[in-house]
Structures are given as structure tokens and as C-alpha cells.
Structure 1
């Protein structure tokens, strides 16, 4: 699915667990006076009463797409996306050894204009939905690999607190200045 509102620039905030994606998404949305798409998987997993299944990954894929589609018309020039369904690919590969075919089919078609890959230099924060504090480097490498496979334009954002936010704004401003 391509962007039905071509004048809206889609910026994805991605990275391993506990890197501040939701907080960064909210910050950037406020800074740029727009809306942000929350991570559907978080809402979905909070309701699960048993471990996540392969079908749950498929459900989260469709849920993320639907949520993004619903939020897109509310955006003001920029839509900030708290993660993307690349996360479904990474988690499915890790947990089940395969990716749902619908995810693989959609990856090259459902693009984002720019990605901020949040670094793992933030302290780990425990959360019932976070599982792999010792695998953050592994997942960071996977994010690089997946973004490179898509030829995605991305920047790694590191630092703590305001420094991290300032770097993100500078990266987005730089990207926007080059897109006209």
C-alpha cells in the first residue's frame, strides 16, 4: 500500500526494546504539530492471556496497517509512526523462525520516507511486554540489516534525554530540508 496522501511525509521511529520509541514519537509529534501512530502490538499484547502466537503476529501486522491508515488523514504534513511492521518480521523470525508471507509481500510496497533508528544506549526499563534485555545488540544489528535491505533512509539516534530529542529533531529537519 502506497501513501494515499502523497503530501504527507511518513517518519518511522524504530529500534530494539526499551529505546524510547513511544516517548520519542510523542515528542516529535508535538514538536511538528502533528499526530503519531502508536505501536499497535503493545495494545494487542497487553490483552493476551497466553504467549504470543504466529497468528498473533499476523493480527498485529494488520492492526498496525489499519491504525496507520486511520491516523494518516489526521496528520499535518508529517506522520510520526511509533515503529512499523518491520518489527513483526524481526519478532516472527526470532520467535518462530519465519515471517508471515503477507508481511514479506507488503514490506517493499509499504514504505516510509525516513527512519530514526533509536540506539540501545539508553538504560533498560523493565516492562511486562519486554523480553530480551540481553539481546539488545543482536536486535540493533537486525534493525540495521532490515533497513539496509529496504534501502531505507535512516539515521541512528543516540544520547540521553534532551540530547536524544535534539538529535532526532536535527535529523528530521535535515531530512525535510532536502525533500523540499
Structure 2
């Protein structure tokens, strides 16, 4: 369906991105794109190497493109290539050129950032620590500011986060369409 607005949901590990995306998709009768990194880790039984990052980001974006063709008005994207690039910088101190080009195409109608104010939960290979979560959260905010990407910080429990997103979406879309 043309006219679908992609909504980027960024944030550090264990900050409620997936929970928020799933709830938003249900609320608006549309689709959400789960974070491919989780599937990658489960399938490979390991965290990614630096050389895996570009492929992970390409797969994430390809899944967005596929879901956008079937979504209804909004598509909620649980992370984006920009987040993959940020993690590359955090873990390896650099971002390869292909990944950087893909991350630069951050063309979402709205960018949400989940605050790290939910309980931190260990999740096998996917999660480092609460300290890393706080550091990555700061990196996300700085990265978006440096790139001039406006974002809405969503905080609190799920009902509060949903109300914050609903208010932001009202600015994006006519009231009668929500």
C-alpha cells in the first residue's frame, strides 16, 4: 500500500522497543518489523562479527520494504540500519562504508527513542548489561542530534508510551485517519 508511513523505533537493549512496536501495530491494525538481529543471534548461536553488520542492516531494511507493501497507514520498525551502524561504532570503533550509506537513508516519517526506564532483563547473547544500555542510550540521542534527526523520547510504562506515540502520530496524520 502506498502512503505507508514508516515509524522508526530506536533505543538501547532492553528498553521496550519490541513491546512498543507490537502494541502499536495492534492498536493501529497494521504491521511491525521485528529486529532482525535477534533472529540472527538465535540462528547463528552467536553475536555478530563486524563483517556481519552490513548484511544485518540490509536484511532489516529489506524486511521493512516487504512489510511496507502490506502495511496499513503505518509500519512500526523495531530498529533501523542507523542503529546497526551505531552498534558498529560502539563495539568496533568504526562503521564500514556500505553500512554508513545505508544508515544515512534514515527516511522515516517519525523517529521514536525508547528511554531506558524499563527493568533491564538479561537475554542470553543479546544483552550486555544495564551500564551498556545507559551508554548506548546516550549514543542514540547524540547520533540523532548530530544527524539533525528529530525524535520523540517515549518514557514510562507501556500505556504511557502508547499515549505519547498517539500524540506524535496525530501531528503526522489527520485525526479522522487515526
Q: Fold conserved (TM > 0.5)?
A: yes
1:30 aligns with 2:34: no
How far residue 171 of structure 1 moved from its aligned partner, in angstroms, is 2.3
SS at structure 1 position matched to 2:76: strand
Which one of 142, 146, 149 corresponds to residue 149 of structure 1?
146
**How far off its partner does 1:107 sit?**
2.5
* Structure 2 counterparts to residues 12-161 of structure 1, below 5 A: 12-128=8-124, 129-161=126-158
Instruction: Indicate conservation of the 8 Å contact 2:122/2:129, yes or no.
Output: no
Partner of 2:173: 176
Residues 23, 51 of structure 1: CA spacing in aligned structure 2 closer, same or farther, 3 A cutoff?
closer
CA, structure 1 residues 82+134, in 2 after alignment: closer, same or farther (shift >3 Å)?
Answer: same
SS at match of 2:138: helix
Any gaps of 5 or more consecutive residues in structure 1? none
- TM-score normalized by the length of structure 1: 0.89
Over the residues paired in the alignment, what is the CA RMSD in angstroms? 1.9
Residues in 1 aligned to 2:27 and 2:107: alpha-carbon distance in whole angstroms: 23
CA distance in 2, matches of 1:10, 1:161: 20
TM-score (normalised: structure 2): 0.89
Distance (whole Å) between structure 1 residues aligned to residue 65 and residue 166 of structure 2: 24
Structure 1 range deviating more: 102-111 or 31-40? 102-111
Change (3 A) 1:62 1:159: same
Cα pair distance change 1:15/1:51, threshold 3 Å: closer
How many residues of Structure 1 are paired with residues of Structure 2 in the alignment?
175
TM-superposed CA distance for 1:110, in Å, is 4.0
Q: Could you tell me whether the CA contact under 8 Å between 1:113 and 1:153 is conserved in 2?
A: no
